[in-house]
Each structure stands twice: as structure tokens, then as C-alpha cells.
A and B are shown apart, each in its own frame.
Chain A
Amino acid sequence: MPVELHAEKQVCITGIGQSEVGRPSKKTALNLTIDACLEAIADARLKPADIDGITTWPGESQDTSGFSPVGSTEAMFALGLQPKWIGSCNSGHAHMSAIFEAIFAIASGMCRHVLVFRTVAQASAVSSARETSLMGGRGGADARVRGFMSWTVPFDAVSPINIFGLYAQAYFDKYGATSEQLGAVAVNGRKMAGLNPKAVFRKPLSIEAYMASRVISTPLRLYDCDIPVDGSTALLFSHRDAARDMARAPIEIEAMGMSIGGIGHGLHLGDFTRMESDKAGEMLWSRTDLKPADVDLAQIYDGFSILTLLWLESMKLCGRGEAAAFVEGGSRIGLDGVLPLNTSGGQLSMGRLHGYGHTYEACLQLFGRAGERQVRDAKVCAVANGGFGHGALLLKRG
């Protein structure tokens, strides 16, 4: 199929919005959602009545964890929308599933403007109950675990860091990577966060302070973990024909890639030094004439720092086993480096907006509105999300 007929080539990003980011926020999750969504709609110079589709990931979670407190239906009513189509998806390619859904809804001709949002209220949840970030829930020792949690929780591996510790150790063993190299991801994120007023952690972090920080699950340390926050991000996707009439050039979706691995289900393949995200990267590069060398900057998932290294390789922005040496010292991934990385501060320092912070930052950069942290001549940005399910976008300034 010619590249120009791909679904994502029919779709643009025409507006972006983001609520305040709090640790915690005094606003309710629904109000954070409304703030983000109205900002995205206004950013595209549209009105709520123009929106004919809305979706989110993963849909409203029926618990008090703050993982996904607002679903599509609630947001639709709260915003006064009358969409033709609403969606949500708690299975599939994780964070970006909703973005892919929006692309398909528009490319199929069903919708012209689809609002995609993701709201988290995990900072509020953590302050009210310590266990909310952990697997196994709050049932205590008498409550048995089911499904995918069966493969980790009985062995006291109650945090996802234990799973990604397995990957980090295998990666270190195979490629001789070091903590100082991995630490550059966290140090870089903090440096970027210093230029982002919304970031929750902005005090400088040195590699020495990183090395002195406590180990949580070897070889991963405190600063290798992202930060639960309260906040909402909204992205407005429009058909390119609708975008053509708009005052401002939209952001083009040059290519997308998606895949899913068994990590979240206890099914591990390979030698723990790569994820199925490799397939998302391969799909992405098979759908464009651009090459990895054309990428000006990258927003790469950093729920844990090791994920950034694995994703850099999946996205072919580094060779296999070379990501640790690439980020070492931070100069290559700084604002003046060959590949400015996670320019918002990422989830490690800005906060866990759960993938959507990365796509939002990519758009902000490509619109040229990133303020002090603006990357000069940013034209092409790679975005990658996920540790269990995988999604990738190649975004281009219109």
C-alpha cells in the first residue's frame, strides 16, 4: 500500500491540552479532565459541538487506585459533547491504544474530530492508601491474587519494578551496561524538568546523587522510578481535510507502530534484553520513507529508566546493546545533543501522565511552543509508550 494511503496519513493532531500536574492536585479528576479537554478543543480553534468522537485508555478503572478515574462516557457528559462514537480499550497496545482507535475512527470516515484523553489521580490515591501502586491490591494476605498477578505477587514481587529489574539485570549482564550509564536517563530528565514549570521534581539531580540513592530492586534505584501524579492530558485528532481549513498547520502523523508482548501476563520470550516493542519499531519504520537519522528529538517512555534504553533500541535510534553508551554522560540526549530526549522531564521528573505526557510534549515541541526547553528546528519527533503493551508514533511538523 502506498504510504499516503495509510490510515495515520489521513489524520493530524490539531490541538493539545494539559491540566495542572499535581502531587497531589486539589482539583478532582473530572475537573482535571475538563481542563485538559477544553484546552485541546480551544487550541484547535474548535468548539465542543465540533467533536464527534471521544476515547481514552484504558477506560474507567473500577477501583480507588487513581489509575484511570475518568472514562469516556463521564467525560463526554461533563464536556457537553454529542459524539457519534465513543471508545475505550483496556486490552491491546496499552497507552497508545486510544490514539490508534482515534486514527482508525477518523480514517474510516466515521469521525472528523476525535478527542483522546488520559487522566490519572495516582498522587491523591497514594496519599490516601500506601498500597495503590502495588499489585495485589488492598485485600491483605487473605485475599488471593488472580490472573497475571498470580505469577509475581506470591513471590513478593508486588511492584512492576521487580519485573523490569529482571530486564535491567539481563541487559547489564549481556552488554556490560552500568548504573552510571542508566542513571543518565534520570539525570537528563531532571535537567529538562528544570525548564518545565509543570514538572513535579525540578531540583537538579547529579549522577553522584543518583548513584547514592537507595536501591529498590537491583539494579534499579529510587530515581529509576517514575512519579505518580494527578493530571490529565488531551490530544485532538482531526481528519486532514478538516485540518486543511484551520488557521494553523497541524502536526502530521508520519507513521505508527504497535505490538504487544506477554510481559504483563507472565509470558516472557527471548533473553530479557528486549521487549516486543521491537515489533512496534519495525512496523513504524516500515510505514514511512523517513529514516531514524531524520528524527530530531524523541519522547521515549520512562515508567522505569530501563524502558527508555530498551525502547531507544526498538525504535532503531540506537543499535542493539548501544543505548546505555549512547545516553552516558547526557550530552547526546541534552537539548543541544544529537537526540534531545524526554524534553518535558519525562515521567521520571515531570510525572506519570502515563504515556500521554510524551505525546503532548512532542506536539508542544513541533508546534514550537516549548518555551525555554524548545529544541531548535524540531521537525520530526519519535514517541514511544509502554512496558507491557507497546505503541509508537513518528510525528512531523506540518
Chain B
Amino acid sequence: MPEQEQAGGPEKRKRQLPALEVQSAFFWTSGSTGALQIARCTACEHYVHPPLPRCLKCQSVTAPHAVSGLGKVKTFTVNIQQWAPGMEVPFVFAAVELAEQRELYVLTNIVDCEVAAVYSDMDVEVKFEQQEDVYLPMFRPREVANAG
């Protein structure tokens, strides 16, 4: 079970958060339910992310659907440049391919490991980072979860 970052942990630098817009608010708050949710077609069950109102395959209505939170790093970049004061660098920005569907990508950070340990095809799982009313879906190596 993917775990949520405990409240009362070390103070994190404030990130620039997404506005909770009608179409995508469920995605940013799904961590409050303990499970990542992705828009899925109510007819053919095809997922689409970022969320869109209709299925890209059959144009039926989509609805949020809980997924396993498991996936693999498809590709990544180690950001070295500090773009704003207080930004913690280096960090890993990655495209994680969710286990549920080929080419279903979530853009995220890979956390809880050295940046040099990240590689393409690495198994990862979601780990939410709560800030205000937003639960950012970060991903961490699955081995860490098993050991912890």
C-alpha cells in the first residue's frame, strides 16, 4: 500500500502548487483517499492523463479511477540548475509509466533515493507529499518500500 507522508515531518520548502481546477482537482487530491486516481473511460476503460472529459479512443465520458500506484521510470532527467531560491537540487524529474496501461505517463519527481541511483525502467511506487490541499504524487523506488 503506497503510504502518505506523515504530517509533522521535517519542514519542506513550499512548492508552487497546482490550482485545483474542475477537470483535474481529483488527481491532485486523490492522495487524501490513499490511492492515486487517474481519469478512465467509463465505457472502454482506457486511461487518459492529464485528465480530459472524454475518452481519446471512444469519446465516452471519463471518471476518476483508483490505480495501483505502481509503475516504472520511463525516462528521467537530473535537474542541476537551481531555478529559484531555496529549490533543492539536484532532483530527479521523471516520466513514470503506470502499471495499468502502456504509455500512460505521469510526470513526477523520484524521491527517497540518491539521484544517481535512478535509471530508466526502475520500479517505483507512488508516495504522496501533502502541501495545503494538494497531494503531489511523487514516486520512490519500490525496493525502499519493501525494506521499510
- Interface size in chain B (residues, C-beta < 8 A): 35
- Check A156/B15 contact, CB under 8 A, given A162-B77, A215-B80: yes
Q: Which of B33-73 contact A (CB under 8 A)?
A: 48-50
Q: A162-B93, A166-B75, A170-B75 are in contact. Are A152 and B107 (CB under 8 A)?
A: yes
Q: Would you call B98 an interface residue if the criterion is a C-beta within 8 Å of the partner chain's C-beta atoms? A: no
A-B contact count (CB 8 A): 121
- Bitwise, B101-115 to A at CB < 8 A (1) or not (0) is 001010111000000
Q: Smallest CB-CB separation from B24: which chain A residue?
A: A150
Contact A218 B103 (CB under 8 A): no
Which residues in B have their C-beta under 8 angstroms from that of A140?
A: 16
User: Which of A261-269, A348-356, A360-368 is the interface stretch?
Assistant: A261-269
Whether A109 is near chain B, meaning CB under 8 Å from some CB there, is no
A36-44, A64-72, A141-149, A318-326 - the one binding chain B? A141-149
A264 smallest CB distance to B (angstroms): 11
A167: interface (CB < 8 Å): yes
| A155 close to B81 (CB less than 8 A) | no
* Residues of B contacting A158 in the complex (Cβ-Cβ under 8 angstroms): 16, 83-84
With a cutoff of 8 Å between Cβ atoms, the chain B residues found around residue A157 in the complex are: 79, 93, 107
A153 to B19, CA, bound (A): 11
Which B residues are in CB contact (< 8 Å) with A218? Answer: 77-80
**Does A290 sit within 8 A of B, measured CB to CB?**
no
- Is the pair B16, A268 in contact by a Cβ cutoff of 8 Å? no
Complexed CA–CA distance, A106 and B20 (Å) = 44
CA distance A169 to B77 in the complex (A): 7
Q: Contacts A268-B95, A269-B103 known; A154 to B78 CB distance under 8 Å?
A: no
The residues of B that contact A53 with a CB separation of less than 8 Å are none
Measured CA separation A158–B94 after assembly (Å): 13
Binary contact track B8-28/A, C-beta < 8 Å → 1, others 0: 000000111111010010001
Within 8 A of A (CB), among B85-101: 87, 91, 93-95
Q: Check A165–B77 contact: CB distance below 8 A.
A: yes
Q: Does B126 contact A (CB under 8 A)?
A: no
Question: Could you tell me the distance between the alpha carbons of A41 and B75 in the complex, rounded to whole angstroms?
Answer: 47
Contact B18 A216 (CB under 8 A): no
A340 within 8 A of B: no
Q: Which residues does chain B contribute within 8 Å of A270, judged by CB atoms?
A: 103
Most central of B15, B21, B48, B75 by chain A CB within 10 Å:
B75
Within 8 A of B (CB), among A182-220: 214-220
Is residue A388 contacting chain B, with contact meaning CB distance below 8 A?
no
> How many Å lie between the Cα of A150 and that of B109 in the bound state?
14
CA distance A396 to B38 in the complex (A): 48
Q: How far is the CB of B77 from chain A (nearest CB, A)?
A: 3
Q: Known contacts A162-B93, A268-B105, A269-B103; is A154 also within 8 Å of B16 by CB? A: yes
16 new A-B contacts at CB < 8 Å, known A165-B77, A167-B75, A169-B77: A134-B84, A141-B14, A143-B16, A144-B18, A154-B18, A156-B93, A156-B109, A157-B107, A158-B16, A166-B95, A173-B75, A215-B78, A266-B49, A267-B48, A271-B74, A272-B75
List 24 A-B pairs, Cβ < 8 Å. Answer: A144-B16, A145-B16, A146-B21, A152-B93, A153-B18, A154-B15, A154-B17, A155-B108, A156-B79, A156-B83, A156-B93, A157-B79, A158-B84, A159-B81, A162-B77, A168-B77, A169-B120, A214-B80, A216-B80, A218-B78, A267-B48, A267-B50, A268-B95, A271-B103
